[in-house]
Amino acid sequence: MDLAAIYRDRFGRMGKDTRDRVWAVLCRSYFDDVIGPNRSVLELACGYGEFINNIAASRKLAIDINPDARSHVNDDVEFMEADAAEIPVPDASVDVVFASNFLEHLPDKATLNRVFGEVRRALGDGGHFIIMGPNIRFAYREYWDWFDHFLPLSDRSLCEGLSQAGFTIVRCTPQFLPVTMDSKLPKPDWMIRLYLAIPMAWRIFGKQFLVVARKEGGPSAALNAQRR
C-alpha cells in the first residue's frame, strides 16, 4: 500500500490544524493527567504526530513506517522510520508506549504478539502501554470501512492478548472516544473538555476502547491509570 497517499487522503479530510487542535485538548484535558509529568513517551505509528506533538513529556519518541511522518512531528520529537515489530530503542528505555488506531492495521495475531514483545522490551519496569482503537463490539458497522483494517479487536480480546503477553491490565474502558474524528466527537474545545468529563457520554458515543496495561517489576504509581 502507498501509506503516504493513504495518510494524505485520510488525515486531510478534517485538516491537520483541526486534528492538531482536537488532540491538544485531549492531551491537556485527559492524557497529560493520565500519564503524569516527567515521563519518556514513545508513540507507535505516530501518523502526523498530533498526539506526540501535544503530550507533555520529558522525552518524546515516535516511530512510523511512513517517511512523510518525519516532516509533521515537532523538533523536540525523536522520530524513527521503523516497524513497530522492531522498535529501534534500547531495552527498558521508555516509561510509556502509546498507540492510537494502529493495532487494527496489523496483518495477524502473530505480528501483534511481536509488537507486544517489543513494547515489553522497550518499557522499563512498571512502565505502561496505553492503547486506543476501534472496538469491534461497538464499531462493527464501521470497522471495515477502512481498506487497511485487517485485525478485528475488542476490548476483551485485546486485554486477553496483553495478559498472555505478560502485561497486567490496569484499566479497560470499552467505550471512550467516537470511532473517528470525522464522526460525532464535538469539535469546539469546551465541548471536548465537557465530553471527557462526563463518562456517561462515552457510553453513548464511544466506539473506541482505551486500555492501559503495565509491565510488572517496579514502581508505577506515577501513572494515573484509574482516572475515569
Residue 33: all three cell numbers together: 493527567
- 17 part of a folded domain: yes
pLDDT digits (tens, 9 = 90+) for 13-25: 556 778 899 999 9
- 228 part of a folded domain: no
**What's the predicted TM-score (pTM) here?**
0.89
Strands 167-173 and 208-215: antiparallel
Predicted local confidence at residue 147, as pLDDT: 84
pLDDT digits (tens, 9 = 90+) for 138-181: 999 999 988 889 999 999 999 999 999 999 999 999 999 998 86
Residue percentage of the chain with pLDDT more than 70:
86
Predicted local confidence at residue 112, as pLDDT: 98
Q: pLDDT (tens digit, 0 to 9) for every residue of the chain, 228 residues total?
A: 666 666 666 665 556 778 899 999 999 999 999 999 899 999 999 999 999 999 999 999 999 999 989 999 999 999 999 999 999 999 999 999 999 999 999 999 999 999 999 999 999 999 999 999 999 999 999 999 888 899 999 999 999 999 999 999 999 999 999 988 665 555 789 999 999 999 999 999 999 999 999 998 754 434 554 444
- 198 part of a folded domain: yes
- 226 part of a folded domain: no
Number of domains in the chain: 1
- 222 part of a folded domain: no
SS3 state of residue 139 = coil
Predicted local confidence at residue 189, as pLDDT: 92
Domain extent at residue 182: 3-215
- 171 part of a folded domain: yes
Task: Output the 3-class SS for 42-107.
Answer: EEECCCCCHHHHHCCCCEEEEEECCHHHHHHCCCCEEEEECCCCCCCCCCCCEEEEEEECCHHHCC
- 155 part of a folded domain: yes
CA-angle at 94, arms to 136 and 65, nearest 5°: 55
- 63 part of a folded domain: yes
Are 117 and 166 spatial neighbours (Cβ–Cβ below 8 Å)?
A: no
Domain containing residue 83: CATH number: 3.40.50.150
